[in-house]
Amino acid sequence: EPEVTQTPSHQVTQMGQEVILRCVPISNHLYFYWYRQILGQKVEFLVSFYNNEISEKSEIFDDQFSVERPDGSNFTLKIRSTKLEDSAMYFCASSDPSGAEAFFGQGTRLTVV
C-alpha cells in the first residue's frame, strides 16, 4: 500500500542551526502539507503546497520556515534558524487530486538543544 515516508525519524540540532526535514509523498498525490505537534499538544497545520507553490500557511509558518519540492518526489520543510520552541513532531501529509483526505507520514521528531 502506498505510504508517505519521512526522514529522518529523529533529528537533534543545536539552536540557531538550519534543519531540513524530508518527505516523499504518495506518488499520484497533488496536495502536500506539513503539520506540527508539540509534545502533549494537538496537531497544528503549518502549510499546504500545490502546483509548486504555497497554497495556504498558518501564522506559525513565519519567515524562518520554507517548503520546497526540489524534484518530482521529495517535499521538504526547512527551518532556517531553529529555536528551542521548534522542538516538536513534524508530520508530512499528502492528498490525492480530490484533496479530501490526507495521508500522514510517521513523523520526524525534532529536538532543538
Partner 1 sequence: AQSVTQPDIHITVSEGASLELRCNYSYGATPYLFWYVQSPGQGLQLLLKYFSGDTLVQGIKGFEAEFKRSQSSFNLRKPSVHWSDAAEYFCAVGAPGNTGFQKLVFGTGTRLLVSP
Residues that bind partner 1 (CB under 8 A): 31, 33, 35, 41-45, 48, 50-51, 55-56, 91, 95, 99-107, 109
Name the residue nearer to partner 1 (CB basis): 14 or 42: 42
42: how many CB neighbours lie within 10 A of its CB? 8
Q: Which three cell numbers stand for residue 71?
A: 524534484
Name the residue nearer to partner 1 (CB basis): 8 or 16: 8
Q: How far is CA 22 from the centre of its chain?
A: 7
* Distance of closest approach, residue 36 Cβ to partner 1, in angstroms: 11
Distance CA 44, CA 35 (A): 5
Amino acid residing at 23: C
Name the residue nearer to partner 1 (CB basis): 48 or 82: 48
